[in-house]
Amino acid sequence: MQVDGRSLARRAALALAAAAAFAVVAAPGASAGAGPLIVGGSPTTIDDFPATVIFNVDGAQHCAGTLVAKNKVLTAAHCTDGVKAAQMEIIGGQTNFSDTTGEKAGVSDVWQNPAFDMNGMQHDNSVLTLDKDLPYQPATLVQSADDAAYKAGADVTVVGWGTTSEGGDVSDQLLKVNVPVVDNTTCADDYSKSGSNYDKASMFCAGVPEGGKDSCQGDSGGPAYVDGKLAGIVSWGQGCARKDFPGVYTNVGNDYTTISSHLG
C-alpha cells in the first residue's frame, strides 16, 4: 500500500488534511450533519453494535475496534504500529463520541500480528488486552477464509465514527453503511492499476462500482460484519468511496487461528 495520498490507511491520525485533523482532536462531529454519512450510510446506536469500541491515543480519536472477549479488543495493526499501550484508551457502550457515558479501560498489552507490514498492509490486525473486563457482548468471529461471508455479493455492514467524506469531518454519532463484497480478482485488478498492493489471502474488499458508500479515515480498526459475525477490520483504500475503488478490509477468517490464540 502506498501511504501517499492515493491509498490511505483509515486511521484518524494518518494523512488527514490539517483542518480535518483539527476536527478529529478538537471537535468530533462538528459538521457531521452536512454531506453523506460514513460515507453514504446512516446513523445507528451502540445498542445495535455493542461490541464496537472507540480507540483513543493520548486522549484523541485515533481508530475503532471490536470487543472479541470481555478484556480483548481486535483492531487494525496500522492503528497500533509505533504506539505504546500506555498511550491507548478504549471506550465501550457509547453511541456518540462526545458523550461521557461509556465504560473506559486502559490497555495492558498489545499483540501486533508479526506478519503485518505497513508498506503492504497484509495481516492488518492486532489484539489489545484491557486492564479490566468490559460489560458488553463480544462479537463472534468468522473462522475461515472459505466462509460464505467472503463470497462476492455478501452483504457487509461497516460501523464507525470516521469522516463523513474524503478529507472531511468525523461523525459524533456512530454510523453504519451496507456494501457488498466485491470479487477478489476484480478488486486485485482495480488496485493494481493504481500501483497499490492487494493481497487476496489476507484482505477482502467491499463497495459499489459507482462509489459513494464506504468506510473512511477514523474508521480504521473498526468492524465489518456479515450475518452478525465479525468478518473484517477496516484497513485501507484509495481515498474514500471513489468509483471502482472499494474499501479494503482485513480478512479475519484467514487469520482466525492466529488471532484466536491471543484471546485467552
Indicate the helix (H) or strand (E) that contains 263. Answer: none
- From 7, 62, 123, 124, active-site residue: 124
Residues 217, 12: contact at Cβ < 8 Å? Answer: yes
- From 126, 215, 220, 235, active-site residue: 220
Determine whether 220 is an active site residue.
Answer: yes
Largest CA distance in the chain: 46
Separation CA 205–CA 256 (nearest Å): 18
Determine whether 165 is an active site residue.
Answer: no
CA torsion sign, 144 to 42 to 207 to 218?
A: negative
46's grid cell: 451502540
Determine whether 215 is an active site residue.
Answer: no
Indicate the helix (H) or strand (E) that contains 135. Answer: none
- From 78, 172, 196, 235, active-site residue: 78
The label of the residue with cell 485488478 reads: 189
- Active-site positions read 78, 124, 220
